[in-house]
Chain A
Amino acid sequence: MDATVGQIKTMTTDTPRSRPFDPLTRPIRIEARDVTVHYGAKQALFGISIDIPDRAVTSFIGPSGCGKSTFLRCINRMNDTIEGARVGGKITLDKEDINNPALDVVELRARIGMVFQKPNPFPKSIYENVAYGPKIHGLARSKSDMDEIVISSLRRAGLFEEVKDRLNEPGTGLSGGQQQRLCIARAIAVGPEVILMDEPCSALDPIATAVIEELIDELRENYTIVIVTHSMQQAARVSQKTAFFHLGKLIEEGVTEAIFTNPAHKQTQDYIMGRIG
């Protein structure tokens, strides 16, 4: 499947935007230091430290169960919702500790949006799906404000043209790829600074995947994006920085190109060559 994705990707965006980019020169948006996670007695993450650069795509790769999704969920404190999960270490967003008790998790999640593995639109209309975030966070002062937010979010998610005539139809009636773009539009509508994506394409067909990848590439102009992916090709295509996780540890991180062409660790190399995972 991944091979097909690669081909289609080459077909659709044959001219990748060649922005001169070195993630190491970008300002750091999120700083994680020595992050650990326990689920009950089981330790899932061991001392993860990583910097996430501003307005770039950082990808987490690694075999199943390596802790990449767990770490992603630490960034917007979604692990709080899991019974028996304990998070240690420190994560800062713009130098501000996200685990600071004074910081409301609701506010944090308004700043750090999330897109999940399986498209999960609310069983409501397309309009309501996008309007929900701005509504609960009180971001729209009037109906026309709201219309504007909804339309611009859908537009930025590349979905508006496809759904403009059926904004009142249920979001669950869209195709898988459209649903995922609706979820991205929903996340964008709150005006987050960071968007976390947990394997956003794993439930999608190759064509829909290509569309989402293109969208991610566009979004990074304005958003800091962290994406967890199973597909190394995807990481290579969309991200500028890559981190390789294995058995709950961060093995290696760096500029995507360097990780894929010249990994420093044998485990990374094995994974990239398809020997583990």
Chain B
Amino acid sequence: MATETLPVAGLAGRDRTRMVRATLRRRHLNEAIFRGLGMAAIVVALGFVALLFVDVVRKGAPAFVQSNLHLAVTFDPAVIDVGPAPARAAFGSDAEFGAANVKWQRDVALLNWNRLVEAALRKAAPEVADIPARELLTIPETDARHRIREMFVADPSLLGQTVEVDVLASANADNWIKGNIDRSLGDRQQQLSPAARGLIDRFVQNGTISSGFAWTLFTEVDSRSAPASAGLLGAFVGSLYMMMIVIALAVPIGVAAAIYLEEFAPKSRLTDLIEVNINNLAAVPSIVFGLLGAAAFINYMHLPISAPLVGGLVLTLMTLPTIIIATRGALLGVSPALRQAALGMGASKTQMVFHHVLPVTFPSILTATILGVAHALGETAPLLLIGMKAFVAQVPATPLDQATALPVQIYLWQGNENRNFFEPRTAAAIIVLLGMMIVLNGIAVFLRTRLERRA
């Protein structure tokens, strides 16, 4: 070993070697212990992440599959006794035609469309005759009658015809089929009557009920009267609006503030104070931003309540410190050599920043921004305070309409009374939200490696 050739006064080579070896053993032991602890930490961390994912996926996966009823619905003229839809040609003026049309539509709406649903259900299992209509109608989702009515309004020539229609099975029926509810429970604890339960099993056997991918989760808005059709579209669009607002506001403001503070602002007490405050702001609990938003944007500026605009503004405030801090960090990391090179060439400070410093830091600023936005996307607390926890059963057309957001939707479903049905659905919403996060993070990683390779 090299140590043997080192001249250490007063020690024979062999003694020295022995002493070094003695410390070596201890050093190796320490290193092994530290490595072991580090690996254990990683295993624990990964274990928790795996636990989260496995649990969420296990719970949420069934919600992506939904029970559908295939019914042969007869548009029975005995039920639909409203006469033909008014034709324009039969009326002298638009006003008369309009009035007749409104009357016809009202008549159509007042019909008992459930009778068609009931008839179709009975036809699907003719051998079961003794089930009352009220119990029978607990099997399809309550919006089945609206589907059929809308089909007729769109095409009145269906009168007298029999058409294959797919409707959703009710949430309770879905629970029974998937086994979300314990089948051994007594009648009084079951959500469906014994007759309805029996009929559902029969429907599953004879193919009237089958499972399919739950597209409604993505194409429908939240619903309480028809929980089986409750979807995420409204919340998704709400989140999308907020994300766009955060990107449009937080990124330019945050990056500009960071550039000014880092590159141009004179170092003074004031800038020190600003810096400390920005750092503190990043640590302010998000619910406080919600309060601020409620006070400033809604009470003072009178922006609409529950609107993605306000949500986006609040999340912008929340994301700003993150982006400023990350951008300043990135700017600080640019080597002084590059700055000197630019200044030495006679570039002005602005030219130095925009020609040289920013392009180099762009990948890290971008990553920080995307992560900040992803963080904002998952934020719930401030949104509750500005009214975005309201039940909204529509897709917001503009950022000024009432809306909810994905994390808030998760919160709302988590609290729904129909636990058996909404627990998987909540987990499914979590999967969708996590999926969006992963996509955003993936974009950040992709853009960063791509831009860094180019630089």
Chain A interfacial positions (CB closer than 8 Å to B): 76, 78, 81, 83, 106-110, 113-114, 116, 118, 120-123, 132-133, 136-137, 183, 186-187, 190
Q: Which 3 A-B pairs have the closest CB atoms?
A: A109-B346, A114-B344, A120-B337
Q: Say whether A106 contacts B348, CB under 8 Å.
A: yes
Residue of B339, B341, B346 most packed against chain A (CB within 10 A): B346
Sampled A-B contacts (20; CB under 8 Å): A76-B344, A78-B343, A81-B343, A83-B267, A106-B346, A109-B345, A109-B346, A110-B346, A116-B337, A120-B341, A122-B342, A123-B359, A123-B360, A132-B345, A133-B346, A136-B347, A136-B355, A137-B346, A183-B341, A187-B345
Q: A109-B346, A187-B345 are in contact. Are A116 and B356 (CB under 8 A)?
A: no
Q: Say whether A78 contacts B344, CB under 8 Å.
A: yes
Q: Which residues of A contact B346 (CB under 8 A)?
A: 106-110, 133, 136-137, 190
- Give the Cβ gap from B268 to chain A, nearest Cβ, in Å: 11
Q: Say whether A118 contacts B337, CB under 8 Å.
A: yes
* CA distance in complex: A108, B356 (Å): 20
B111 proximal to A (CB < 8 A): no
* CA distance in complex: A136, B343 (Å): 11
Closest residue to B347 on the A side, CB-wise?
A: A136
* CA distance in complex: A122, B338 (Å): 7
Given A81-B340, A109-B343, A132-B345, 12 new contacts (CB under 8 A)? A81-B343, A106-B346, A108-B346, A109-B345, A116-B340, A120-B337, A122-B342, A132-B355, A133-B346, A136-B351, A186-B345, A190-B346
- Give the Cβ gap from B41 to chain A, nearest Cβ, in Å: 36
* CA distance in complex: A118, B355 (Å): 20
Closest residue to B342 on the A side, CB-wise?
A: A122
Closest residue to A129 on the B side, CB-wise?
A: B341
B455 proximal to A (CB < 8 A): yes
Chain B interface extent, by class: 20 to 34
Q: A110-B346, A133-B346, A137-B346 are in contact. Are A120 and B351 (CB under 8 A)?
A: no
Q: A118-B337, A120-B337, A120-B338 are in contact. Are A109 and B344 (CB under 8 A)?
A: yes
Residue of B339, B344, B347, B455 most packed against chain A (CB within 10 A): B344
Q: Which residues of A contact B340 (CB under 8 A)?
A: 78, 81, 114, 116, 120
- Give the Cβ gap from B112 to chain A, nearest Cβ, in Å: 74
- Give the Cβ gap from A132 to chain B, nearest Cβ, in Å: 6
Q: Which residues of B contact A120 (CB under 8 A)?
A: 335, 337-338, 340-341
Q: Which residues of B contact A132 (CB under 8 A)?
A: 345, 347, 355
- Give the Cβ gap from A190 to chain B, nearest Cβ, in Å: 7
Closest residue to A128 on the B side, CB-wise?
A: B355
* CA distance in complex: A55, B419 (Å): 88
Q: Which residues of B contact A106 (CB under 8 A)?
A: 346-348
Q: Say whether B343 contacts A121, CB under 8 Å.
A: no
- Give the Cβ gap from A186 to chain B, nearest Cβ, in Å: 7
Q: Which residues of A contact B345 (CB under 8 A)?
A: 109, 113, 132-133, 136, 186-187, 190
Residue of B267, B342, B343, B348 most packed against chain A (CB within 10 A): B343
Dominant SS among interface residues on chain B: helix
Q: Which residues of B contact A83 (CB under 8 A)?
A: 267
Q: Which residues of B contact A186 (CB under 8 A)?
A: 345
Q: Which residues of B contact A78 (CB under 8 A)?
A: 340, 343-344
Q: Say whether A116 contacts B344, CB under 8 Å.
A: yes
Closest residue to B341 on the A side, CB-wise?
A: A120
Residue of B339, B355, B359 most packed against chain A (CB within 10 A): B355
Q: Which residues of B contact A114 (CB under 8 A)?
A: 340, 344
Closest residue to A111 on the B side, CB-wise?
A: B346
Residue of B337, B340, B355 most packed against chain A (CB within 10 A): B340
- Give the Cβ gap from B223 to chain A, nearest Cβ, in Å: 55
* CA distance in complex: A122, B359 (Å): 11
- Give the Cβ gap from B345 to chain A, nearest Cβ, in Å: 5
- Give the Cβ gap from A75 to chain B, nearest Cβ, in Å: 12
Closest residue to A115 on the B side, CB-wise?
A: B344
Q: Say whether B341 contacts A122, CB under 8 Å.
A: yes
Contact with A along B310-345 (1 / 0, CB 8 A): 000000000000000000000000010111111111
* CA distance in complex: A81, B348 (Å): 11
Q: Which residues of A contact B339 (CB under 8 A)?
A: 81
* CA distance in complex: A120, B344 (Å): 11
Closest residue to A172 on the B side, CB-wise?
A: B455
* CA distance in complex: A186, B343 (Å): 13
* CA distance in complex: A118, B338 (Å): 10
Interface residues of B in 257-307 (CB under 8 A from A): 267
Q: Say whether B356 contacts A122, CB under 8 Å.
A: yes
- Give the Cβ gap from A137 to chain B, nearest Cβ, in Å: 6
- Give the Cβ gap from B76 to chain A, nearest Cβ, in Å: 76
Q: Which residues of B contact A137 (CB under 8 A)?
A: 346
* CA distance in complex: A110, B359 (Å): 23
* CA distance in complex: A132, B344 (Å): 12
Q: Which residues of A contact B341 (CB under 8 A)?
A: 116, 120-122, 183
* CA distance in complex: A132, B342 (Å): 9
Q: Which residues of B contact A190 (CB under 8 A)?
A: 345-346
* CA distance in complex: A121, B344 (Å): 12
* CA distance in complex: A83, B337 (Å): 16
Q: Which residues of A contact B348 (CB under 8 A)?
A: 106
Closest residue to A106 on the B side, CB-wise?
A: B346
* CA distance in complex: A107, B347 (Å): 9
Q: Which residues of A contact B344 (CB under 8 A)?
A: 76, 78, 109, 113-114, 116, 187
* CA distance in complex: A132, B343 (Å): 12
